Amino acid sequence: MSTSRTRTRSTPAPPATGGSTPTDAPRISVIGTGYLGATHAAAMAALGFDVIGYDTDQNKVDALSLGKVPFYEPGLDTLLTEQVESGRLRFTSDVREAVADADVHFVCVGTPQQSTSHAANLSYVEAAFTAILQNATRDALIVGKSTVPVGTAANLRTLIPSHLPEGLKAELVWNPEFLREGKAVDDTLHPDRIVIGGASAHAEALLRTVYATPISEGTPVVTCDLPTAELVKVSANAFLATKISFINAIAGVCEAAGADVTVLADALGHDVRIGRQFLNAGLGFGGGCLPKDIRALMHRASELGAHPAARLLQQVDEINMGQRERVIALATEACGGSVLNRRIGVLGAAFKPDTDDVRDSPALNVAAALHLRGAQVTVYDPQASDTARRTFPTLGYAASVEEAVQGSDVVLLLTEWPQLVDSDPAALAALTPTARVIDARGKLDPTTWRAAGWEFRGLGRPAA
């Protein structure tokens, strides 16, 4: 059984960003320095620990060692620079150096979808776990943070006797991450919960030392078995994905009935059992987590014989992907039945605001699909243009909203960056002879845009 241990919230204690680390404080290694690992390493250093981050990518290690974040995450560059300069945080591509002097090892590597199925690719997790065991010089607490299928940790534990040097002890526990891209720093320093799975009394006490500052602020600690801990993150993502797909399915009903899904969602959100978050109808979810996590859970549920869960997640995935086709159909309709040689201005490339991440981005997927149908697509994104260009170099890229809109046959709002949502519709209307806009995120005010001369369409909203 899992138990929740909640501390009464007190006056928040600031991160230990100054002063010396206690001599008995655990030394920390972070294996993998992508979105999760780089943020976790910097945050652990900010909490006062000596931290070393390891990655196989020497270019990434070199950049991080100079305090440079190789991706966009608000606030992380400042935090990283402060901790590198303090001497508490360093990076290496030598796994022996990373592991040898650390007491607690956080595994933060990726678990991408396999190329041949919906299952998660666990090769990076297995390699990280094995490398820690083989290079350990002292007893080790290995903490899995990567999102894995249930049962992974139990399988990894079987590797300990054959890989750990004689005379040493190692314990594997699971401590899932709940970071939101764009808010990762705050989510790490001030998490809304800390889950510890499969820990002995000693391991739990050690992790409570690591997380002492957020615990003192009132962050609840949930202790449980390994399978429960592994399922928490994927279940949370599956629930959010289901909520998004639900409102998108209802958006289709609204379009057919002439109703407004945005007003409907506002009304639903007043119900405390439902809430307003993740009830924005639109282009749907993407990124490096939700799509691959619900597919991995779908696959694992089928393996375990939990077929109702697998069928539900299949529908969630299909509804979500269908929204991309719906936006493509609206753009084609706006262009008179064909986008061939039509100019389309696309506002947004990242899968959501406050990130430059374009992994499985619905926005970039729609832009690329229209390009493949013969459209002249010009994309503008405040942060993700460079990462988008590396993924789809054949698309056109603009340096401003105005350049993307100039001379367009139709404009698509595909990522709800505030600076895109707050664009002046009257000024933009003067840049195109055919002012047509498709709001694929439900963030524009139809009345304002129509008054400025735009032909407005939105998902789940009345056509006029």
Task: Let me know if 4 is exposed, middle or buried by CB neighbors in 10 A (0-12, 13-18, 19+).
Answer: exposed
DSSP 94-135: -HHHHHHT-SEEEE----PBPTTSSSB--HHHHHHHHHHHHH
Phi first, then psi, for residue 194 (nearest 5°) are -125, 120
The C-alpha angle 74, 182, 459, rounded to 5 degrees, equals: 135
Cβ count near 42 (within 10 Å): 34
Q: Based on the residue annotation, tell me whether 289 is a catalytic residue of this protein.
A: yes
**Dist. CA 319–CA 245, nearest whole Å:** 6
Q: What is the DSSP letter of 158?
A: T
Closest CA to 354 of 58, 71, 20: 71
Contact 150, 122 (CB under 8 A): no
Choice among 108, 254, 289, 335 that is catalytic: 289
- Per residue in 419-431, is it b (16+ CB within 10 Å) or e — as a string? ebbebebeebbeb
- The catalytic residues are 289
